[in-house]
C-alpha cells in the first residue's frame, strides 16, 4: 500500500496537476482554498482523487464564512482571497468544505494513523511548529502510532514518545524557504518527506490577474517565489513589522 499525504494546497492548481506520485490512496490534511487562483478547480480535483480529507481553517472559513484566524503577516492576504474564493465556489462546494471532518483515522498493516489539520486538541487553528514543546502533550494519550498534521506549511518528522508526528509541508504555498511543493509518502511501513518543482510562474501569472488589491497580489507572488516571505521586496524596516507570526 502506497499512500501520498498532502496539505495546504491553497487553490494552487499547477502544483496539484504536477503531482508526480502514483499511489493507492491520497490523503489531504486540509486547506484546499484561499491564497491561490483556482479554488473551485482544486476542490473538484481533490474530491475526485482523495481517499481521506480533513477540514482546514481556510476550508472552514470559505465554507462557513468565518475568520480563518491567520497570523498578522498573512491576515490581509487571507481576507482578500477568502472573498475571492467564496465568490468562485458554488453553494454545494462551500457546503462540502464546511462538512469535512475535523479528524480522520485509518489503520494500515497494523499502523494506526490520525489525520488533522493543526493539532489533535485544536484541529483548525493551533499553530504548532516542530520545535514546540506542545507536541509532548498533544501526542501523549492518542490511540495512534502516526499523527499527520499540516497548517504550518513546514515539513517535519518528529518522534514523540512512541509516536511519530509528520507534517508533509505545503503543496500549494511552501514556507520552508523553497518554492518546491512538499508532500509525504508512506509505503511499506516507512514515511518519507519529498518535494518537486512545478510551474510556479504560471500560478504567479494567475495570481497577478486576481481581482484583489495590487499589494496583495504582489505579496502572494513573493510567497510562492521565495518559499514563504510575503515581503521579500520591501525594506528591512517594513519587513520586520510584518513578519510576526
Per-domain boundaries in the chain: 2-242
| CATH code of domain 2-242 | 3.60.21.10
Query: Kind of pairing, strands 2-6 and 181-187?
Result: antiparallel
Burial of 209 (0-12, 13-18, 19+ CB in 10 A): exposed
Question: What integer pLDDT is reported at residue 242 of this predicted model?
Answer: 28
Measured distance CA(81)–CA(97) in Å, rounded: 16
With bands split at pLDDT 50, 70 and 90, how would you rate the model's confidence at 145? very high
Measured distance CA(230)–CA(224) in Å, rounded: 8
Question: What integer pLDDT is reported at residue 244 of this predicted model?
Answer: 30
Question: What integer pLDDT is reported at residue 161 of this predicted model?
Answer: 84
Question: What integer pLDDT is reported at residue 96 of this predicted model?
Answer: 98
Condensed to tens digits (0 to 9), the pLDDT of residues 134-143 reads 999 988 889 8
Condensed to tens digits (0 to 9), the pLDDT of residues 162-209 reads 899 999 999 999 999 999 999 999 999 899 999 999 999 999 999 999
Measured distance CA(185)–CA(171) in Å, rounded: 13
Condensed to tens digits (0 to 9), the pLDDT of residues 13-29 reads 999 999 999 999 999 99
**Three-state secondary structure of 96-125:** HHHHCCCEEEEEECCEEEEEECCECCECCC
As beta bridge partners, residue 115 has 104, 148
Amino acid at each position: 500500500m502506497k499512500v501520498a499525504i498532502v496539505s495546504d494546497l491553497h487553490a494552487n492548481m499547477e502544483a496539484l496537476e504536477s503531482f508526480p506520485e502514483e499511489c493507492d490512496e491520497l490523503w489531504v490534511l486540509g486547506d484546499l482554498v484561499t491564497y491561490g487562483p483556482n479554488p473551485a478547480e482544486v476542490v473538484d480535483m481533490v474530491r475526485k482523487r482523495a481517499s481521506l480529507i480533513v477540514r482546514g481553517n481556510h476550508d472552514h472559513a470559505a465554507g462557513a464564512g468565518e475568520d480563518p484566524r491567520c497570523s498578522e503577516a498573512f491576515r490581509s492576504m487571507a481576507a482578500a482571497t477568502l472573498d475571492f474564493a467564496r465568490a468562485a465556489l458554488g453553494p454545494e462546494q462551500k457546503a462540502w468544505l464546511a462538512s469535512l471532518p475535523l479528524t480522520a483515522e485509518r489503520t494500515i498493516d497494523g499502523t494506526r494513523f490520525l489525520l488533522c489539520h493543526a493539532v489533535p486538541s485544536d484541529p483548525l487553528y493551533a499553530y504548532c511548529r516542530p520545535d514546540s514543546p506542545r507536541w509532548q502533550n498533544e501526542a501523549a494519550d492518542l490511540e495512534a502510532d502516526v499523527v499527520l498534521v499540516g497548517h504550518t506549511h513546514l515539513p517535519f518528522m518528529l518522534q514523540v514518545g512512541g509516536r511519530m508526528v509528520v507534517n508533509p509541508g505545503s503543496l500549494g504555498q511552501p514556507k520552508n524557504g523553497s518554492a518546491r511543493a512538499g508532500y509525504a509518502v508512506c509505503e511499506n511501513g516507512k514515511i518519507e518527506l519529498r518535494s518537486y518543482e512545478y510551474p510556479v510562474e504560471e500560478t504567479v501569472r494567475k495570481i497577478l490577474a486576481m481581482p484583489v488589491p495590487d499589494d496583495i497580489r504582489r505579496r502572494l507572488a513573493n510567497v510562492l517565489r521565495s518559499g514563504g516571505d510575503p515581503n521579500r521586496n520591501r525594506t528591512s524596516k517594513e519587513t520586520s513589522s510584518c513578519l510576526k507570526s
